[in-house]
Structure 1
């Protein structure tokens, strides 16, 4: 990369006036690529500034030593436009640099709530899949106790099974869920 790339356009030596052929080439490039360049600059900068920026692009193109041997004039003009936008951004950054100092009261670490929410959703999915995959009687006993909030005795009375059988199904259900969610990790 030559050192000429790092010199500001205002600091470059004055170029000779473009020849008639070079002016015609720039005129053709303007007619062919000017509209697309204007649209590009309207998207990247403000719509009010875009026409002035297009003019600046062509001023820079006219002053470029590379203007004589362009294989891709559109790409050349777009690169100049991008460099112009970068120069403007740097200049604006130097003039109004934001305050990036650390303030303990303002910049304290916050808990990773989104990660916790995702983990909770994953855990809930595993839990629901585990409940769905239980044998029917075990699932029924488990849901009656945990969802309907029935006591073991009430479940015993409704299903006509012993309290010991209710306890057996509950232990079986809890072991199944623990295994499904890998509780012992």
Structure 2
């Protein structure tokens, strides 16, 4: 219950800035849907019960959503259309967002690749394989506190490489 109250307060306090951030990264049309997804993920997270930095917690979820979105867009096959010189001279905002998303994905992947092996393994087990901290603890034979340590270390490394200022 306490986590839900903290999440509601975080939404009221940081919602406006988070929506502006998402508009800048994904566009005005997609930002409200992404905002809803941020709070859906936050509400389902066990970490909502002990948020030391609610704004940072929500921003991290938003960044992860943008990274996931970028990955999905990179997997879509390109459709080649003949260039119409008069109509296609100016790049569309969606193209710029796609380039930003691709750059962001490259930075993210470089940060993950640069992590120490154990930190990278814990991070990928949690983020890619979607294992809980408890499942990682059981599989690797390390304490949950060690899993948390490696996750925080991984997130710090990614934050160093990927600059997310609004």
Task: Tell me the TM-score normalized by structure 2.
Answer: 0.46
Rg: which structure is higher? 1
Q: RCO higher in 1 or 2 (8 Å CA, sep ≥ 6)?
A: 2
TM-score, normalised by the number of residues in structure 1: 0.41
